[in-house]
């Protein structure tokens, strides 16, 4: 039997107990939404292991997160790579393909921000609605659509429901937690101030949960502009021009910055999010007085524990080891990877590469410097003589096999063992 959902059930997922579908007997169309997998975990486990596991990385973990070989020593951060949300999203995507071999399976866009993983899904025939030539309007009730780990906007969800598609929802529980807080702010009449990237899928999805009143601030300097407006007012139009893409429709800074609730994209730099929350707290207190705080200010730290753990681990690694350089692996559009690179770049030469192929040779590395929009090639990046101490971490959307391939490549280059090393294939890196 087909199960239909009400509008509120679709848009208030954070507060509803997720519903498990009926067991699928293969004789009829399955229920329309899957939120707890598709009962095929064991059947796809070996494919996932083949695609993303690394024996070398497993061995290094057992060996105290250190890999010593000739003049090279690699120190892995104690927390790195796939987080629980990504693990689950990728698992569900593989289960979906297995469960619906004869139906078109779509993703709304990248399932996670890792080109290698997205390419692997494409290779299984999963289509991306974000690709040229694809259209949501062409979807039919026979199509299956996977929602990514960072969620989709309420508008997208409603549009998919209207098309009658079967949905496989992999939205991470930590993202749902942010939505819950943002909705609570909205219910209390507060404007959500979201520390995040307004162009990022997760922040767009979170903003759509704010019932129409939100402001997205990217960093301290944008927070400073908003805080000054709270304190002293200012040029309303200049404010709206400055945040044109980062506020809700009809936003009025004179009206909508009087009661605010802070939240953040789950993958931001934790220390910066806390600082921004404190900046807004101070601005509201200065404008309205401490006695008004309970009525005008809310905050809830919504950095996810996986992001926090990876940031803490890399900070610990930098404190514990004398490193020559740091390599951070992850998609260039991965927010959590970028923030790991930011932490490292403050301390030592850091190379954020999107894939093992970024290490072209001991003479050349293709990477994206912190603060740059472009990938660049840097020469003479690896010390040619003497011992080399390399720190390594990877973003929450980077599988272990890529980490293992990077270590193998470093080993080859540092110790000049020669020979071609297998590098997991993918399409060319964006330039
Ligand atoms: S980074 Fe955090 S919020 Fe995002 S998928 Fe992973 S665990 Fe979930």
172 lines ligand 1 (CB under 6 A): yes
pLDDT digits (tens, 9 = 90+) for 130-144: 999 999 999 999 999
Q: Average pLDDT of 192-208?
A: 96
| Whether pLDDT at 423 is above 70 | no
Nearest CA to ligand 1 atom 5: 85
- Neighbour-count burial for 387-412, b at 16+ CB within 10 Å, e otherwise: ebbbbbbbbbbbbbbbbbbbbbbbbb
pLDDT digits (tens, 9 = 90+) for 345-394: 999 999 999 999 999 999 999 999 999 999 999 999 999 999 999 999 99
Expressed in angstroms, the distance from the first to the final Cα of the chain is 49
For residue 290, the 8-state DSSP code is G
- Neighbour-count burial for 16-39, b at 16+ CB within 10 Å, e otherwise: eeeeebeebeeeeebbbbbbebbe
Nearest CA to ligand 1 atom 2: 304
pLDDT digits (tens, 9 = 90+) for 21-59: 333 333 334 448 999 989 999 999 999 999 999 999 999
267 lines ligand 1 (CB under 6 A): yes
Q: Has domain 174-303 been given CATH number 3.40.1010.20?
A: yes
In CATH, the architecture of 2-45+84-171 is 3-Layer(aba) Sandwich (3.40)
266 lines ligand 1 (CB under 6 A): yes
Q: Break the chain into its structural domains and give their ranges.
A: 2-45+84-171, 63-82+306-414, 174-303
Whether residue 132 contacts residue 152, with contact meaning beta carbons closer than 8 Å, is answered with: no
Atom of ligand 1 at shortest range from CA of 84? 7
* pLDDT at residue number 218: 97
Asked if 202 is an active-site residue, the reply is yes
Whether residue 298 contacts residue 362, with contact meaning beta carbons closer than 8 Å, is answered with: no
Q: Say which of 202, 272, 355, 412 is annotated catalytic.
A: 202
* pLDDT at residue number 417: 56
Choose between 411 and 422: higher pLDDT. 411
* pLDDT at residue number 1: 32
| Whether pLDDT at 2 is above 50 | no
Beta bridge partners of 317: none
Q: Average pLDDT of 191-201?
A: 96
* pLDDT at residue number 32: 82
Q: Report how far residue 421's alpha carbon sits from residue 410's, in angstroms, rounded to the nearest whole number.
A: 10
CATH number assigned to the domain with residue range 63-82+306-414, chosen from the 4 options 3.40.50.150, 3.40.1010.20, 1.20.1370.10, 3.20.20.70: 3.40.1010.20
* pLDDT at residue number 300: 85
H-assigned helices in 266-369: 270-288, 293-296, 305-320, 335-345
Same fold, 63-82+306-414 and 174-303: yes
Nearest CA to ligand 1 atom 7: 85
362 C-beta neighbours (distance < 10 Å), count: 18
- Confidence tier at 168 by pLDDT (50, 70, 90): very high
* pLDDT at residue number 139: 95
Longest CA span, the chain: 70
* pLDDT at residue number 391: 98
For residue 359, the 8-state DSSP code is B
Ligand 1 centroid from CA 420, angstroms: 35
Q: Average pLDDT of 289-308?
A: 92
The proportion of the chain whose per-residue pLDDT surpasses 70, expressed as a percent, equals 89
What pTM value is reported for the model?
Answer: 0.86
pLDDT digits (tens, 9 = 90+) for 57-86: 999 999 999 999 999 999 999 999 999 999
114 lines ligand 1 (CB under 6 A): no
The chain-wide mean pLDDT, for the chain, equals: 89
85 lines ligand 1 (CB under 6 A): yes
Q: Report how far residue 153's alpha carbon sits from residue 207's, in angstroms, rounded to the nearest whole number.
A: 8
- Confidence tier at 430 by pLDDT (50, 70, 90): very low
Ligand 1 centroid from CA 87, angstroms: 9
Q: Report how far residue 248's alpha carbon sits from residue 235's, in angstroms, rounded to the nearest whole number.
A: 18
Whether residue 248 contacts residue 212, with contact meaning beta carbons closer than 8 Å, is answered with: yes
């Amino acid at each position: 039997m087909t199960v239909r959902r009400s509008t509120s059930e679709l848009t208030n997922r954070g507060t509803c107990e997720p519903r498990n579908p009926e067991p699928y007997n293969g004789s009829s169309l399955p229920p329309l939404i899957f939120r707890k997998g598709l009962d095929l975990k064991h059947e796809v486990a070996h494919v996932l292991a083949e695609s993303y596991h690394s024996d070398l990385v497993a061995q290094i973990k057992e060996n105290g997160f250190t890999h010593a070989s000739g003049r090279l020593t690699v120190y892995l951060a104690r927390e790195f790579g796939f987080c629980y949300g990504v693990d689950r999203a990728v698992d569900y995507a593989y289960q979906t393909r297995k469960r619906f071999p004869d139906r078109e399976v779509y993703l709304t866009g990248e399932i996670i921000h890792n080109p290698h993983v997205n390419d692997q899904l494409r290779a299984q025939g999963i289509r991306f609605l974000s690709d040229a030539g694809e259209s949501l309007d062409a979807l039919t009730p026979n199509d299956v659509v996977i929602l990514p780990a960072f969620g989709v906007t309420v508008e997208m969800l409603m549009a998919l429901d209207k098309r009658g598609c079967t949905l496989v929802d992999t939205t991470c529980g930590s993202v749902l937690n942010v939505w819950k807080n943002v909705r609570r702010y909205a219910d209390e009449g507060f404007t959500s101030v979201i520390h995040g990237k307004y162009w990022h899928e997760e922040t767009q999805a979170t903003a759509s949960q704010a019932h129409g009143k939100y402001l997205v601030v990217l960093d301290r300097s944008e927070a400073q502009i908003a805080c000054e407006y709270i304190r002293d007012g200012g040029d309303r139009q200049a404010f709206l021009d400055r945040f044109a893409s980062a506020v809700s429709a009809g936003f009025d800074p004179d009206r909508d910055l009087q009661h605010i609730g802070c939240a953040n994209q789950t993958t931001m730099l934790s220390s910066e999010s806390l600082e921004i929350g404190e900046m807004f707290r101070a601005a509201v207190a200065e404008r309205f007085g401490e006695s008004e705080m309970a009525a005008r200010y809310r905050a809830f730290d919504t950095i996810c524990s996986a992001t926090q753990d990876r940031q803490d681990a890399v900070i610990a690694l930098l404190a514990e080891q004398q490193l020559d350089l740091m390599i951070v692996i992850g998609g260039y559009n991965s927010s959590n990877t970028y923030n790991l690179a930011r932490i490292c770049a403050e301390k030592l030469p850091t190379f954020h590469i999107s894939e093992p192929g970024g290490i072209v040779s001991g003479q050349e590395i293709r990477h994206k410097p912190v603060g740059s929009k472009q990938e660049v090639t840097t020469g003479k990046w690896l010390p040619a003589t003497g011992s080399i101490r390399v720190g390594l971490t990877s973003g929450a959307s980077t599988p272990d096999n890529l980490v293992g391939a990077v270590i193998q490549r470093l080993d080859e280059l540092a110790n000049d063992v020669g020979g071609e090393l297998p590098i997991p294939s993918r399409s060319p890196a964006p330039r």
